[in-house]
Chain A
Amino acid sequence: MTHDHSPHDHKARCEAALEQLFDFLDGELDDSLEAELKVHVERCKPCFDRADFERRFLEVIATARAEERCPKALKDRVIATLRAQGLQA
């Protein structure tokens, strides 16, 4: 993926990169594929922009984790139930 010999090659590499983009961003690719894709994304503006957008989107989604927590009343109820089962806490 390091040399794009023709516009057709380049387009094919972009398609392959976009297909594997989430695997890439999620750290699910093996080292060699990840390195190849990284090189392509760094050199290809449209793929870089797309990767940057998806990465920012995933970062924002991850922040929603803090928005939803187990209600305290439920936590208290669960712990009370477990104490009745012998939990020492």
Chain B
Amino acid sequence: MMTDIPEAEARPAPPQEFADAAIGAMDDVYRFARSLTRDPSDAEDVVQDTYLRAFRSWHTFQPGTDIRRWLFTIARNVFLRSRERGQREVTLDDEASAVAEASQAQEAWVRGGLDPILDRADLGPAIIEALAALPETFKTVVTLVDLEDQPYEAAAEVLGIPVGTVRSRLFRGRKLLQERLAQHARDAGLIPAVPSRSPA
């Protein structure tokens, strides 16, 4: 999936401080790339291309700003270019998703499944699995805000969407994640099974 990157021009290499900060953020960039792509090898390509582009355009980084936000933005652009150029991004109907709030019964089902296991120390792999299964639209926002601790405004800037859309995708993404983790808890026998479940 490597994109076409112009050959390096004769530019000065970035300062060591910049290089260290950028390379130090590679775990973050990788996690974000994983949220963009379904395939781990595609995510690796996104990371590699992101760093190539970042190092060739390091002079466009504004010192004093968040280097992770800058790298996330490059990663998203790399990802979009790597898709069929001009192909419309697959999006869900955010408004419809936002209003599809959980019913009280669903909410109780989710809380009943999740509440008893939230203090467990071994939930990490289940969370990663549940996150990976989210539709990309929600996964990217949840990753940026919940894992990478980006404010709504920063996530909006990285993804090129309004803050209100970040808010609605985040809400729906978190609810989906809760549903999946509650299902995981029941499937894994972490809590007693109940005869029926509400979420479809």
Residues of A within 8 A of B (CB): 22-23, 26, 28, 53, 56-58, 60-71, 74-75, 77-79, 81-82, 85-89
Which residues from B are CB-within-8-Å of A69? 27, 30
B19 in contact with A66 (CB, 8 Å): no
Inter-chain contact count A-B, CB under 8 Å? Answer: 106
Which residues from A are CB-within-8-Å of B111? 53
Which residues from B are CB-within-8-Å of A89? 16, 19-20, 23
CB distance from B125 to the nearest CB of A (A): 6
Choose among A22, A28, A64, A87 the residue with the greatest number of B CB atoms under 10 Å from its CB. Answer: A64
Distance in angstroms between the alpha carbons of A55 and B15 in the assembled complex: 40
Which residues from B are CB-within-8-Å of A87? 13-14, 19, 55
User: Per DSSP, are chain A's interface residues mostly helix, strand or loop, or mixed?
Assistant: helix
Specify which of B51, B128, B142 is in contact with A67 (CB 8 Å cutoff): B128
What residue of chain B has the Cβ atom nearest to residue A82's Cβ?
Answer: B55
Q: Judge if B26 is at the interface, Cβ distance under 8 Å.
A: yes
B149 in contact with A62 (CB, 8 Å): yes
Which residues from B are CB-within-8-Å of A74? 26, 30, 44, 47-48
CB distance from B2 to the nearest CB of A (A): 11
B19 in contact with A85 (CB, 8 Å): no
> Which of B60-68, B85-93, B171-179, B186-194 contacts its partner?
B171-179
What 7 A-B pairs come out closest when comparing CB atoms?
A: A70-B30, A64-B127, A67-B124, A86-B13, A65-B147, A70-B26, A61-B146
Which residues from B are CB-within-8-Å of A82? 19, 23, 51-52, 55
B151 in contact with A85 (CB, 8 Å): no
B48 in contact with A78 (CB, 8 Å): yes
Q: Contacts A74-B44, A87-B13; is A68 near B51 (CB within 8 Å)? A: no
Q: Judge if B133 is at the interface, Cβ distance under 8 Å.
A: no
Distance in angstroms between the alpha carbons of A28 and B154 in the assembled complex: 12
Distance in angstroms between the alpha carbons of A26 and B13 in the assembled complex: 38
CB distance from B179 to the nearest CB of A (A): 12
Q: Judge if B145 is at the interface, Cβ distance under 8 Å.
A: yes
Distance in angstroms between the alpha carbons of A35 and B145 in the assembled complex: 22
Q: Judge if B170 is at the interface, Cβ distance under 8 Å.
A: yes
Specify which of B19, B47, B127 is in contact with A60 (CB 8 Å cutoff): B127
